[in-house]
Structure 1
Amino acid sequence: MGKLDLITIVIIAANVIISYKGFNDYAFFEKYKFNVGGIQRGEKIRFFSAGFLHVDMQHLLFNMVTLYFFAGRVIYEIGVIGFLMLYIVSLLIGNLLSLYFHKNEYHYSAVGASGAVMGVIYSAILFDPWGKINFFIPGFVFGIGYLLYSIYGMKKRIGNIGHDAHFGGAIGGYLITLLLSPWLFETNLIMIVLLALPIALLFALKKLGKI
């Protein structure tokens, strides 16, 4: 973890440039952020563009530093093209899940690369479930715990955080990783099942009307 590949540099640069433009241009920020009303009016570009905008420098820095620490392992395992596919799909699924949960909230808005970054984290965890996060927490424990917290956050509307986008990003990372690396079913089947449990729980709760 922590290897700075060219594709990682390109993605970080795109986030910095576009976010900086948004910091200084309110009209630009409003035009390209994720917004339910805008998407329902046909502005589908928001699904993608919102993933390169951030609220402030702290938000941007947190996402980019996290990406830096996890991207290298994923690129090593699935290559540059696979990584780019995973990043984009995670970003889009994150925002699609946000739309799914907020489709009746016309003014709901969100920005940030968090969904895409969470997809990268979940992918890295699949490849190295026992790898330590924050020096002592095994990756799979963090992944499961974070998604369970996201479910709780979605239910209780905790903070100004797009919990659903984070969760959707993790789903994207999970699916693309297994699609591109099916050998994981032979080596890490138990972990694959464990990491799927929060995803199954979310949709079960949604079907039951509990969230």
Structure 2
Amino acid sequence: MLITLLIIAITCIVSFMAFNNSRLMNDLILWPPAITRQREYHRLVTYGVVHADAMHLLFNMVTLFFFGRAMESFFAARLGTLGFALFYIGGLVVSILPTYLKNRANPNYRSLGASGAVSAVLFSFVLLAPWSRIIVLVIPMPAIVYAVLYTGYSIYMDRSGQGNVNHSAHLWGAAYGVLFTLLVDPRVLGHFLNALMQPTFR
């Protein structure tokens, strides 16, 4: 799980540096005009290594730690050592593109955090082990149940436009995670459907 740990380490280091360095934060955050006018395309990735606060960072990195381990092995076996890094970076870009396109002329919009890519990792994992037990706010539940609740909540919040969370990135990240995994190994679909028919909560 070297790649997973490297991603976590880089994200934590840069996030903590940016907490106390507004210039660094402003250079890395997704700010659409900087991409549209100045072609700073790196922001489509670097927004994912900065976070709003310590709790935002902790939630994303703990989730990545637990599910990234399994998915790193999966992608390494099919795409090579850097397969998981490719998947994760792709998750950052794909999950934020709709937000960027929607707000590319909006100088007041900003977005940050690895949630979109982490959603991709989580939903990729759900395809492999839908009935695995995960802990959500101290409540144990099957991964597939959490995925359904998470998707429903994100759709509702995205449509209502409440809060400062980019729920659109969560949804696009989840969709990317599922599609990328199936493209890499189409056999996963059959495995997932068979697993759904044999519920085991463990």
* Whole-Å separation in 2 of the counterparts to 1:44 and 1:13: 23
* Whole-Å separation in 2 of the counterparts to 1:99 and 1:76: 31
**Structure 2, unpaired ranges of 5+:** 197-202
Structure 1 residue aligned with 2:63: 66
The letter for the 2-side match of 1:15 is T
Kindly tell me the number of residue pairs found equivalent between the two proteins: 188
Alignment map for 1:56-135 (pairs within 5 Å): 56-79=53-76, 80-134=81-135
Tell whether the 8 Å contact from 1:32 to 1:49 is kept in structure 2 after alignment.
Answer: yes
The letter for the 1-side match of 2:114 is A
- The worse-fitting range, judged by mean Cα deviation, of 36-45 and 120-129 is 36-45
Alignment map for 1:175-194 (pairs within 5 Å): 175-189=179-193
Q: Give 1:121 shift.
A: 0.3
- The worse-fitting range, judged by mean Cα deviation, of 113-122 and 126-135 is 126-135
* Whole-Å separation in 2 of the counterparts to 1:140 and 1:105: 36
Match of 1:10 among 6, 10, 13: 6
Structure 2 residue aligned with 1:154: 158
Tell whether the 8 Å contact from 2:129 to 2:192 is kept in structure 1 after alignment.
Answer: no
Alignment map for 1:37-48 (pairs within 5 Å): 37-41=33-37, 42-48=39-45
Deviation string, structure 1 residues 9-63 (Cα, Å, up to 9, x no partner): 1101110121122112111111210112222212211101101011111211111
TM-score (structure 2 length as normaliser) = 0.85
CA RMSD of aligned residues (A): 1.9
- The worse-fitting range, judged by mean Cα deviation, of 77-86 and 51-60 is 77-86
* Whole-Å separation in 2 of the counterparts to 1:144 and 1:86: 22
TM-score (structure 1 length as normaliser) = 0.82
**Structure 1, unpaired ranges of 5+:** 193-211
Tell whether the 8 Å contact from 2:111 to 2:166 is kept in structure 1 after alignment.
Answer: yes
* Whole-Å separation in 1 of the counterparts to 2:195 and 2:182: 12
Q: Give 1:120 shift.
A: 0.5
Q: Give 1:84 shift.
A: 1.4
- The worse-fitting range, judged by mean Cα deviation, of 75-84 and 122-131 is 75-84
